[in-house]
Amino acid sequence: MAWILPLASSHRFGGIDAPVRILRGLGGGSQGQVFEVAVGEEALALKWYFPTFLRRDPGLAERLAESIRRGSPNGDFLWPLALLRPTGPAAAMLGGAASGFGYLMPLRPAGFQGAVEHAAGRLTISLQNVLRSAFFLARGFHALHSLGLCYKDVSLGNVFLDAGRGRILIGDNDNVEVSGRGGGAVVGTWGFMAPEVALGRSRPDGGSDLFSLAVLLFLLLTRHDPFKGALERAIPCLDLPARRRLYAEEPLFVFDPRDDRNRPDPIEHAAALLTWPLYPRALQQQFERTFGPGLSDRRSRTLTGQWCQQLAATLDQRRLCPNCAEENLLDVRLSGLCRSCGAPLPPPMRMRTAAGLVAVAAGNELHPHHFDLLLAEDLDHPLARMVAHPRRPHLLGLENLSPHPWTLTLQEGEAIAVAPGETASLAHAAILTTPNGEVTIERPGESSAQA
């Protein structure tokens, strides 16, 4: 690839005092190229636009400057930091100051890989971390929409996953705009655009973002396109008119509960058929709403906060098969069969909090929202984590991740102090008392006054 900015060179730009050293090229597309750069001792990314693209989007510099002044909605965005324009030798090298501009943003940390790798089945990631990634994605869009902004160009290529932690980063934020303003050259990507945007009846806004977010969440959870089923398989050539029909004029959700004409193919679409049944009905119904009535009625689309609520609740249902240790998602009050080995899954031990029930399983956590119904779901600040004994994994303990001591009352009535950082066995636990509230440990077959 021929790079716009010479590698291993250093330049001064308007918009920043320190020189910018061009370390290496990271990639490019139709809009421009992205470089790893150093500003002082800090490693950053620089996106530099092609003049041809800038002529199509004359308001881009103003939008970027506005985003930089506003700041990132939260830490899940690779948000623009500074707008750079060529000056002096850099301007001469690029053919004049009017030849383009770029912007600095944080460099994607090691450990984050493109979500396209997950969708292609090339990324090893636990079910828990898939759900966590989906939660953080919905939370990022919730933060964005809370500022009155819309992302517009939602696609799988703009999201990065840390498979080991279930964290995400959202890139390519240069198309972000005030919802409803309707500027910019980019309106979306086929397969992600809401039908009204794809048909040219509406410009992208927060309402169309909700549809695009649902597509992205479905891809994360199932590794499959929500509209590619039997109807798409019958199309000999997926050209633009065919895409328009598939995604905008006659879209049909592959798991539409009332119309099975577009079901996934058992061979070509095996991932969808394997993953969709894993999720509880309450989560499936959010997709059915958005990809059913929400195709034409924007008010029927699941909101960002509703996604966060349902994804957090789904994480609370996670349990591990005692036979093969596979992750399963089942109502904590019910028995079932393991999705992997078919072994019986008895109802697990569970924790009853102010917000409901949490299955006792290694890796599950308690968060502030479990103790206060008025708090929004937040996975960033766990108060407790369930851990398995290192030599006897069927024995579980609860690690105190909070800064405060707890009291654990055993079934026999004995009270045990659990200091911050300590882990207490749950084998005979009955009640956990914390500054955040009380937790009752319930076992299968035990009756509860709140059940």
CA distance linking residue 379 with residue 142, whole number of Å: 14
**Average pLDDT over the chain, rounded to an integer:** 93
Per-residue pLDDT reduced to its tens digit, 389-423: 989 988 999 999 999 999 999 999 999 999 999 99
CA distance linking residue 152 with residue 189, whole number of Å: 9
Q: What mean pLDDT comes out for the span 193-221?
A: 96
Find out whether 429 and 398 touch, Cβ atoms under 8 Å: yes
- pLDDT for 97: 45
Per-residue pLDDT reduced to its tens digit, 270-295: 999 999 999 999 999 999 999 999 99
- pLDDT for 185: 60
- pLDDT for 184: 65
> Which residues share a beta bridge with 44?
37, 106
pTM, full prediction: 0.94
Q: Give me the residue label for tokens 């944080």.
A: 106
- pLDDT for 405: 98
The beta-strand segments (E) located in 42-138 are: 42-49, 82-86, 102-106, 112-114
**Residue 299 burial (CB count, 10 A):** 8
pLDDT band at 187 (very low <50, low <70, confident <90, very high): confident
- pLDDT for 92: 65
Q: What mean pLDDT comes out for the span 157-168?
A: 97
Q: What mean pLDDT comes out for the span 122-132?
A: 97
pLDDT band at 383 (very low <50, low <70, confident <90, very high): very high
CA distance linking residue 193 with residue 201, whole number of Å: 12
Under DSSP, is residue 415 helix (H, G, I), strand (E, B) or coil? Answer: strand
The CA–CA distances, whole Å, from 7 to 1, 13, 30, 33, 42 equal 12, 16, 20, 12, 17
Give the phi and the psi of residue 382 in degrees, each rounded to 5: -65, 140
Identify the structural domains of the chain with CATH numbers, from first to last. 9-106 (3.30.200.20), 112-308 (1.10.510.10), 349-451 (2.60.200)
- pLDDT for 30: 85
pLDDT band at 451 (very low <50, low <70, confident <90, very high): very low
Using only C-alpha atoms, what is the Rg of the chain? 25
Q: Give me the residue label for tokens 């199509």.
A: 56
The CA–CA distances, whole Å, from 29 to 41, 50, 236, 321 equal 28, 10, 28, 45
pLDDT band at 188 (very low <50, low <70, confident <90, very high): confident
Judging by DSSP bridges, how do beta strands 102-106 and 82-86 pair with one another?
antiparallel
In this predicted structure, the answer to whether residue 162 has a pLDDT above a threshold of 70 is: yes
In this predicted structure, the answer to whether residue 96 has a pLDDT above a threshold of 80 is: no
DSSP state of 376: P
Per-residue pLDDT reduced to its tens digit, 74-94: 999 999 999 999 887 666 666
- pLDDT for 153: 87
**Residue 391 burial (CB count, 10 A):** 6
Find out whether 212 and 295 touch, Cβ atoms under 8 Å: no
Enumerate the H helices of 97-200 as residue ranges.
Answer: 115-119, 127-146, 195-198
- pLDDT for 95: 59
CA distance linking residue 377 with residue 298, whole number of Å: 24
Which percentage of the chain shows pLDDT scores above 90? 84
CA atoms within 13 A on the CB side of 178: 7
- pLDDT for 183: 66
Question: Which tokens sit at 451?
Answer: 């059940």
CA distance linking residue 91 with residue 85, whole number of Å: 8
More confident residue, 169 or 182: 169
Which percentage of the chain shows pLDDT scores above 70? 95
The beta-strand segments (E) located in 196-340 are: 318-320, 327-329, 336-337
CA atoms within 13 A on the CB side of 263: 10
Per-residue pLDDT reduced to its tens digit, 25-61: 999 988 999 999 999 999 999 999 998 889 888 889 9
CA distance linking residue 128 with residue 314, whole number of Å: 9
